[in-house]
Chain A
Amino acid sequence: MPIHYPRALLRAHRLHPIEVWGPPHVERHEGSRHFQVYTCDIVVKAMSFLRSGGLDVARAILVPHTCDALQGMGSVLGDFLRPDQRVLTLYLPRGRRTSDHDFLRRELGRLSQTLVDLNGHHPSDRDWAEAFEAEDAADAALADLYRRRAKIAVSDRDFYAIVRSREYLTAEQFCEQAGALPEGDAPHLGVGLMISGIVAEPLELFDQIEAMGAYVAGDDLACGFRRVYSLSAENDPFERSANRLLTSPADPTCGTPIQVRVDTLQTRMRAMGARGLLIYDPKFCEPELFDVPLLRKHLNEAGFPVLHVEFEMGDTLPHQTLSRIEAFVETLS
């Protein structure tokens, strides 16, 4: 499950993570047997997907503690549904203090021990080194993609298709795909937007934004830029994983103070030439909903208009959503 988790640690334990953000094409019905209507699509649809056998291929299900909804999911899975796969949990601290760091290091150690029990494989020093080398390379490739965005000659949709392929490809496959993107000026015409929120589904959104005469200058998405981690060179694998996770960009699910998030957004929007902020969230996402009024207030004061749109995960975009975005783009033009 999204959002933050220790990739290299899983790899050292010979596990390959595949992220489940919904998925959008799944119906809520099966998940609704366990969760109330006011639960977000990511959780309810993931439950439907699991119940319909979509995760049968998985050896284990890892639920990082990201919000109350994912907490509920981890609990229901572990206590009541008890699927064939082992249900694993990971508590991610909400601060960036020394105490948070020390806790996370030990929490990762606990998870690692659970994986030893699950897989029967105790990673060697070589396993750890190989895992960090591969995952650091993929992290660097992702960061590089963002850095070079203006000089990559693909549409926003294709760009985000590659960014999001990190959710299921191996580190090597991702690096290969990212490296294969053609160099040249990005086909960016019209108004530059910054897009924030959890996940930009469906990818058709980017086509529609382009058709409206705008482009995505940068993002603050939980499935995107918020996972551009800094690299760490520590020898201890848990220390190194903790450093990685605790150096992610500003993120409300990690407890970043609102002012820090505002400052970060403002700086990046200026640097990237974004004229406005589109916050695009699945319904019932509390971590995001609390920030929206203050993001709007502070960014408006700084001269950046903000539009907040909530959506229900599906294969297509509702007309009303598109109309609102279109009107927003027009005001920025």
Chain B
Amino acid sequence: MTTSDALPHYVDSNRLEHFVNYEVVGKTALRVQRWRDQWKIARRQPRPNSPLNPPLRCVAHMKEIMSRHYLEGRYASGVRKVAWVTSGAPTEPLQALGYFLVYPENHAALCGVRRKAQSIAEEAEHAGWSRDICSYARTDIGSMISGQTPAGRLPRPDMLVCCTNICQTVLHWYRVLADYFGCPLVLIDTPFLYQEAHDHELAYVRRQIEDMICVAEEIAGKPLDHRRFEEVMTNAKRGAELWLDVLNRSQHRPAPMTAFDGFIHMGPIVDMRGEAVTVAYYERMIAELDERIARGIGAIKDERYRVLWDNLPIWFKIGEFSTWLAERGVNVLASTYTYAWGELAPMIDPDHPLDSMARVYLHPVLNRSAGHKLDAMKRMVDEFEIDGVILHSDRSCKPYSLGQIDQRDRLVKTLGVPALLLEADHNDPRDYSDEQGSTRLEAFVEMMEARA
């Protein structure tokens, strides 16, 4: 029997497994889990000693959505075409073509939150990858080599899409993936914007998106359905607008959510922008935030200082930081990082999808100069009535971190805002010292107290 004779049976068995394990059993189990979580949250009594107010109820829905996404990934091979993509990649045409999307960065963050990142990254280090490269990359390469993942299993990619609008690291990382998986790597190269975008830069990105669509159509074996594409673009725009609204709710006093909540709740807009479920989720979230605002309920019980976070989160410290800072009356309520998935919403135009995608994917904050990022921080200091800024000097993320020393100096000198450079890493606990970190954070809080 030839391989092609065997293929239909193979594909069918995948479809059956997908239907039973994901569509029937998995979805049902996750729905039941969500009901249980909602019930628990509803019955939870506020802990008198906790500096935090009870979590948002919608977190149960978010958990269900994200778990469903990863669960489907386990059974996606042979059922849907799979693309592994960077977090800033122009994915809307791929969604319209029915691809299942895997975001290795999000997967690495998941490993970080579950405190599995170090052991998985060590697999990559043992295979020769240096500790000086990005810990997201090490985590995913380690996962790829060893098969270890808290997500159960990641589907093998049919194509890789790498967009350099977040860093050059992804290009080097995805070259490694391409070598390992032997599948096509589509590059969307986005010139870094030291100033405003030029026409030839926009034309370059647009043309590469067109080329990506051709490759994706060929692999999918079908042409792009333009009606579906428009629908995805409309959802992407609406989802980004809603996400921006979610984040801007923290301009209220007290802020109804923390930036640490934002880091967790950004999952759908990163992994599933363009999907109706994301729109519905953020509508639900806004309704709950508005309810909190109306009742004067803040994310923390005693909000004395309002703080802006710059750069990626320290995933393995989110819970601890949230509580530690809240105990001192500090609400870290905004971040430049989470804003990146919302602030470009006005640029998305479903009527001109390719032109607007070129513009949107060229303009993320990470693809813009250090001066632009400083301006964005200054604006946020004003709009969110910020008392201090924590700049996470992230060893793994050089494009985000280089420039922070001058940014901090200017925040202090021109706005008079206390600003702290906190040395750490987004995923590798070995690059964060609890003792030094606490000492510096204590001093930072004292500076805000002295200024109050």
Contact = CB atoms under 8 A, between A and B. Distances in A.
Interface of A: 33-36, 38-39, 65, 67-69, 71-76, 78-81, 89, 91, 93-95, 97, 99-100, 102-103, 106-107, 110, 252, 255, 257-259, 283-284, 286-287, 289-294, 296-297
Interface stretch (B30-38, B380-388, B396-404): B396-404
B401 A36 contact: yes
A289 B410 contact: no
Contacts of A81: 406
A78 B192 CA distance: 13
A290 B127 contact: no
Contacts of A252: 172, 175
Contact of B406 (A38, A68, A80): A80
B405 A255 contact: no
Contact of B402 (A39, A94, A259): A39
B200 interface: yes
A95 B189 contact: yes
A81 B423 CA distance: 23
Contacts of B406: 34, 76, 79-81
B440 to A, nearest CB: 15
A-side interface mostly: helix
A286 B194 contact: no
B403 to A, nearest CB: 5
Given A79-B369, A289-B133, A65 B374 contact: no
26 contacts: A36-B395, A36-B404, A36-B423, A68-B168, A68-B169, A69-B398, A71-B168, A71-B192, A75-B403, A76-B402, A79-B406, A80-B370, A81-B406, A91-B191, A91-B192, A93-B191, A102-B207, A103-B191, A252-B172, A257-B179, A286-B168, A290-B133, A290-B169, A292-B130, A294-B179, A296-B128
B204 A102 contact: yes
Contacts of A89: 192, 194
A35 B211 CA distance: 37
B132 A283 contact: yes
B376 to A, nearest CB: 13
Contact of A292 (B128, B171, B200): B128
Contact of A291 (B172, B200, B203, B405): B172
A79 B134 contact: no
Contacts of B370: 72, 75-76, 79-80
Contacts of B172: 252, 286-287, 290-291
B402 A72 contact: yes
B128 A293 contact: yes
Contacts of A72: 370, 398-399, 402-403
B248 interface: no
Given A65-B191, A91-B201, A252-B172, 5 more contacts: A34-B406, A39-B402, A99-B211, A286-B169, A286-B172
Interface string B189-206: 101101000101101100
Contacts of A110: 198, 200
Sorted nearest first, the 10 A-B pairs with minimum C-beta distance are: A72-B402, A79-B371, A293-B128, A290-B172, A106-B200, A91-B191, A103-B204, A80-B406, A75-B370, A68-B398
B173 interface: yes
Contacts of A76: 370, 402-403, 406
A68 B402 contact: yes
B128 A99 contact: no
B129 interface: yes
Which interface class (under 10, 10 to 19, 20 to 34, 35 or more) fits B? 35 or more
B419 interface: no
Interface of B: 127-130, 132-134, 137, 164, 167-169, 171-173, 175-176, 178-179, 185, 187, 189, 191-192, 194, 198, 200-201, 203-204, 207-208, 211, 369-372, 374, 393, 395, 398-399, 401-406, 410, 423
B81 to A, nearest CB: 22
Contacts of A103: 191, 200-201, 203-204
Given A71-B168, A80-B403, A99 B398 contact: no
Contact of A286 (B134, B198, B372): B134
Given A72-B403, A76-B402, A284 B132 contact: yes
A104 to B, nearest CB: 9
Given A97-B211, A107-B200, A35 B175 contact: no
Contacts of A292: 128-130
A287 B176 CA distance: 11
Given A89-B194, A93-B189, A293 B127 contact: yes
Contacts of A78: 194, 369, 371
A93 B410 CA distance: 32
A291 B172 CA distance: 8
A68 B187 CA distance: 17
A238 to B, nearest CB: 11
Contacts of B399: 68, 71-72
Contact of B194 (A35, A74, A258): A74
Contacts of A107: 191, 200
Contacts of A38: 132, 395, 398
B311 to A, nearest CB: 12
A30 to B, nearest CB: 12
A258 B172 CA distance: 9
A252 B178 CA distance: 14
Given A94-B164, A286-B398, A255 B133 contact: no
Contacts of B134: 286
A222 to B, nearest CB: 14
A254 to B, nearest CB: 10
Contacts of B133: 286, 289-290
Given A103-B204, A290-B133, A290-B172, A68 B405 contact: no
B171 A255 contact: yes
B194 A69 contact: no
Nearest to B369: A75
A36 B164 CA distance: 22
Contacts of A291: 172, 175
B401 A99 contact: no
A97 B211 CA distance: 10
Nearest to B176: A290
A73 B98 CA distance: 41
Contacts of B395: 36, 38
A75 B193 CA distance: 9
A44 B201 CA distance: 29
A264 to B, nearest CB: 14
